[in-house]
Structure 1
Amino acid sequence: MINKKQGLTRLTGRIVVPGDPDYNQARMEFNKRISKFPRVIVFCKRTQDVVNAVKWARENRVPIRVRSGRHSYEGFSVMNGAIVIDVSQMNRIRIDSKQKLAKIQTGNQLQRVYRTLWQKRVTIPAGTAPDVGIAGLTLGGGIGLLSRKYGLTLDNLKEVEMVVPHGRFGAKIIRCNAREHADLFWACRGGGGGNFGVATSFTFKVHPISTVAIYSITWKWKDLEKVFNVWQKWALSVDNRLTSTIQMFSKQVGTVESTGQFLGSASELRRMIQPLLRASTPLKVRVKTVPFIEATKFFAQIDIGLLPKFKVTGGYAYRAVPKEGIRTIKRFLANPPNKHANVECQSLGGAVARVSPTATAYVHRHAKVIFELSARWRLNQEQKRNITWVESFRRAMTPFLIGDYVNFPDLEFKNWPRAYYRNNFNRLTKIKRKYDPLNVFHFQQSIPPAKNR
């Protein structure tokens, strides 16, 4: 039985502990290969609940994990014996149409963000998975189908409210923006979730939106090399109003698919995709104009019905992948652990690349394409085979890819500081020392405080 008031501070919010009927559901992550047993889970309803949870954890020397959407691919948001500070019930959204701003609490999932902003016909650039939490997505980057026009999610961030450690056992609420705690604001834009404190709300610049044009093209798997080679060169040369993806499935599934979203008309989009249509004869082509909110549902369908356990790794192509690299992709997809393995890529450039790599903590500004390599399975006995395949694939792609996206964390990366942050890592450690010198917020790949000299 947990004592809510061990020490000086009482836990508030909805408290779930082992033995409670809803404990098993409360402890589980989106990635079902992660199965951890925290000491207590606090579903915070207000910012003071977060403050109390951090204080309680510090007073009772209980490790802290921070959680919003449960999408941490390596399960960094849960731990055996820890307190999980879950903000998912903090989901208010306030829109200031005059200032073109939205204040969004960090417990919101993307589908709720998109729906609420759509009521005012505005949006922010963000991802496609409907149940991803806005917190981790934003703090690590936020790559989606408006990125080439409006930048990353974090590029539209104007202010963060965060609970950070204070003194030996305390916690306090601070705001960081371009004027207040500007160093922490810099770190919050690409430093990743759970490193400095608990983000409780974001203020974003919003963009007007109405209808968009979307496309989907499917080819036979045998055309993978030709299609990918055309796509990777075409995707960066087209108008920045168009952001596109290509998904290469296993040989057993037998297809390659490219999708994209364009801030313009369907007729203009049909002209733009002609190079893709000429790459090889498609099996299926769809181009249409839809309300933006319908486009978010269309792209969300790609993530529905996937197997519950998975391993993901990533990387960035800073230049076109040569034929040898494309053949490597095809070779691995021809010999997957099961038919559910795939590679997904998204075009970058545009507004993403117009920001300096040192202007925010997100460093991979000059990358052309982001890669996501993944394998999925259902049974525990399949896990080792799938993880081994993913890691072998990543190593084989090392000559062609650089680093990794902090929101695609991979515990197998030995030099993860370089992979995620490159030359921004030292500055991040100094900011960590300033705001969390006792390393209260730490996990397997968290930013450590710089050593005092």
Structure 2
Amino acid sequence: MERTKLTGRIVTPEDSEYEQARINNNLSIPKFPSKIVFCQKTKDVLNALRWVRENNEAFRIRSGRHSYENYSLVNGGLIIDVSEMDKITIDHKGMTARIEAGAGIGKVYKKLWKYGMTIPAGTESSVGIVGLTLGGGIGMLTRPFGLTCDNLIEIEMVRASGHKGAELIKANKNENSDLFWACRGGGGGNFGIVTSLTFKLHNISNVSLFSVSWKWKDFEAAFDAWQNWAPQTDENLTTQIELKSKEAGEIISQGIFVGSASKLKKLLRPITTAGSPTSVWVKEVPYIEAVRFFDVPSGNQPALRKRSGSFIEKPFPPKAINRMKHLLANAPNRNSSIWHQSLGGTVSKITSHDTAYYYRDAIIAQEYLTTWESSEEEKQNIRWIEELRNTLSSFTTGDYVNFPDQYIKNWPIAYYGKNFNRLREVKTKYDSFNLFKFPQSIPPYNRWI
């Protein structure tokens, strides 16, 4: 039988572009693959999967390079990278878009904006649409339009088949519906290689932006006002609040309202009257300008970084707010922060079992972030993130699978709650060989980690 050949753009350690090709957004966990295949079409993906099976080669799947723990990289193996498969086909009349798996959300927003449409997705432009969607997809239109995965209609996926084969399948509400369920919150890289996603679209034109800032002295007042208001306000308003280190000394809340600036000003009163804001502004802009506003360049740049997170199901008591303040007062550097986004709205209208994304009752998503400059600083930064997560654990629940943390011991329950067993059933059916594996991948029932 003739052996499969790799096709697409192949980069090896001998090539001048290898260094750039191998790195991800997180530089703190370096990996050195033996080959990186940049697939340009579905055939390249099929060939790559057949090749790794025939050669018993370790491999990982990659699109946007934003896997926080670098689970999309492996030492000495093959990376199947779909980032050069990024075509977007829009059905204007049917209000749907078929988006290839390598498209970054910045490109998706720009293309859809030409038609006055969008999907709810994240904020950093270089994040890949596929990883974002498979984990759920939280962003600044979450409350009116739901998670990114809630707007998914169909996926195309290359899965392992037979002894050494690969095949392209579809999953939607009628075909492979169990896989479709799992791909809406079950995380990236678990079941196969997604090659395209089809979404329903939403009309969008002008939106209203706001920004409110406070100094460190208003830490408690600002956060408490925000947490009791943000998940309950008009569902056309999605907001965030970032609590920065004491050294940076700023608390800042921002958001997008699908509505007028005059109405937004009224909606903001519960937070603009909290403490003594140093800056308050509201303006109405074309949606694409709001996209640019929230696209923080530093988040797109590779750096030495650590992130983790959790969900909040009921407002923090003063004790929990004080713990956050204490840890931010003793942060390892000024770039350390705690970020929160309001949930509720459309997200909570779907039950925890309707999709693999489990935390439908959460009112807030919380992310812990830090970056550093030299490798000597790594341990203290990681220790700070872990202390933060552990200290707040009695007030929080779980973790968002797109904020993975290798130090979470009971990660299956943290990411997937009561949906984990059903995810294992889907894994057993579609990848019983456990080919698609990494340190926190879903195991089939015939194997464990």
Give the TM-score normalised by the residue count of structure 1. 0.97
The partner residue of 1:71 within 44, 66, 73 is 66
State the distance in 1 between where 2:429 and 2:16 align. Answer: 41
Partner residue in 2 for 1:189:
184
Q: Tell me the secondary structure at the aligned position of residue 386 of structure 1.
A: helix
Letter in 1 for 2:22: R
Alignment match of 1:23 (pick from 18, 23, 26): 18
Distance 1:225 1:449 in 2: 45
Report whether the alignment pairs 1:62 with 2:57.
Answer: yes
SS in 1 for 2:394: coil
User: Helix, strand or coil for the counterpart of 1:389?
Assistant: helix
Q: Distance in 2 between matches of 1:63 and 1:124?
A: 35
Paired with 2:297 and 2:168, the residues of 1 have a C-alpha distance of: 38
- Please name the residue that 1:373 is paired with: 368
SS in 1 for 2:295: helix
Separation (CA, whole Å) in 2 of partners of 1:357 and 1:209: 28
2:350 alignment partner, SS class = coil
Cα deviation digits, residues 145-189 of structure 1 (max 9, x gap):
111011000000000000000011110000000011000000000
Question: What is the rounded CA distance, in whole Å, between the counterparts of 1:203 and 1:153 in structure 2?
Answer: 11
Match of 1:37 in 2: 32
| Structure 1 segments unaligned to the other structure (5+ residues) | 1-5
Asked if the contact 2:124–2:300 (Cα under 8 Å) also holds between the matched residues in 1, the reply is no
Offset at residue 34 of structure 1 (A)? 2.2
Partner of 1:341 in structure 2?
336
Q: Distance in 2 between matches of 1:72 and 1:141?
A: 14
Contact 2:26 2:302 in 1 (8 A): no
Q: Which residue of 1 aligns with 2:209?
A: 214
Matches within 5 A, 1:292-441: 292-301=287-296, 303=298, 308-441=303-436
Preserved CA contact (<8 Å) 1:7 1:60: no
Aligned-pair CA distance for 1:301: 3.0
Q: Secondary structure at the match of 1:154?
A: helix
Q: Please, which of 271, 275, 279 is the counterpart of residue 280 of structure 1?
A: 275
Structure-2 residue corresponding to 1:3? none
Q: What is aligned with 2:286?
A: 291
Matched position secondary structure for 2:438: coil
Runs of 4+ in structure 1 deviating by more than 4 angstroms, as ranges, are 302-307
Residue 302 to residue 21, structure 1, CA distance change in 2 (3 Å) = closer
1: distance between equivalents of 2:280 and 2:135? 34
Q: Distance in 1 between matches of 2:300 and 2:75?
A: 28
1:303 positional shift: 4.3
Secondary structure in structure 2 of the residue aligned to 1:257 = strand
State which of 6, 31, 43 in structure 2 corresponds to 1:11.
6
User: Match of 2:219?
Assistant: 224
Q: Contact (CA 8 Å) 2:24, 2:302: kept in 1 or not?
A: no
Give the match for residue 256 of structure 2. 261
Partner-residue secondary structure (3-state), 1:94: strand
In the superposition, relative to structure 1, how do residues 305 and 47 fare at CA in structure 2: closer, same or farther (>3 Å)? closer
Name the structure 1 match of 2:175: 180
User: 5+ unaligned residues in a row in structure 2: which ranges?
Assistant: none
Q: Give the structure 1 partner of residue 193 of structure 2.
A: 198
Contact 1:337 1:386 in 2 (8 A): yes
CA distance in 2, matches of 1:86, 1:28: 12
Matched, 1:152 2:135: no
Change (3 A) 1:133 1:305: closer
Whole-angstrom CA distance in 2 between matches of 1:323 and 1:306:
35
* 3-state SS, counterpart of residue 10 of structure 2: strand
Paired with 2:47 and 2:307, the residues of 1 have a C-alpha distance of 34
Residues 114-148 of structure 1 deviation map (CA, whole Å, 9 limit, x = unaligned): 00000000000000011100010000000001110
Amino acid across the alignment from 1:161: E
Question: For 1:201 and 1:307, how far apart are their aligned partners in 2?
Answer: 26
Q: Are 1:237 and 2:232 matched, yes or no?
A: yes
The CA deviation string for residues 206-244 of structure 1, in whole angstroms up to 9 with x for no partner, is 000000000001100111111100100110221000000
Alpha-carbon distance in 2 for matches of 1:288, 1:333: 31
Distance in 2, Cα, partners of 1:89 & 1:451: 35
Matched position secondary structure for 2:57: coil
Cα deviation for residue 64 of structure 1 reads 1.6
Give the alignment's Cα RMSD to 1 decimal: 1.2
1:227, 1:425 → 2: CA distance? 36
Q: Tell me if the contact between 1:307 and 1:376 (Cα under 8 Å) persists in the aligned partners.
A: no
CA contact (8 A) 1:7 1:56 kept: no
Q: Is the 8 A contact 1:164 1:197 kept in 2?
A: yes
CA deviations over 1:80-125 (Å, ceiling 9, x no partner): 0111000000000000011110000010001100000000000000
Give, in angstroms, the shift of residue 451 of structure 1: 2.7
Deviations along 1:32-62, one digit per CA (max 9) or x if unpaired, are 1121001110000000100000000010001
Structure 2: distance between partners of 1:450 and 1:353: 30
- Secondary structure class of the residue paired with 2:273: helix
Q: Work out whether residues 307 and 378 of structure 1, in 8 Å CA contact, stay in contact via their aligned partners in 2.
A: no
Deviations 1:410-434 (A, max 9, x none): 0000100000001100011111011
User: Any conservation in 2 of the 1:67–1:85 contact (CA below 8 Å)?
Assistant: yes
3-state secondary structure, aligned to 1:162: strand
Q: Tell me how far apart the structure 2 counterparts of residues 307 and 259 of structure 1 sit (CA, whole Å).
A: 25
Distance 2:207 2:365 in 1: 23
Q: What letter is aligned with 1:157?
A: L
Q: Give, in whole Å, the separation in 2 of the partners of 1:193 and 1:301.
A: 23
Q: Does the C-alpha gap of structure 1 residues 66 and 296 become closer, same or farther in structure 2, counting only changes over 3 Å?
A: same
Measure the CA separation in 1 of the matches of 2:218 and 2:308.
24
Q: 2: CA distance between counterparts of 1:223 and 1:402? A: 26
Post-superposition offset of 1:450: 1.2
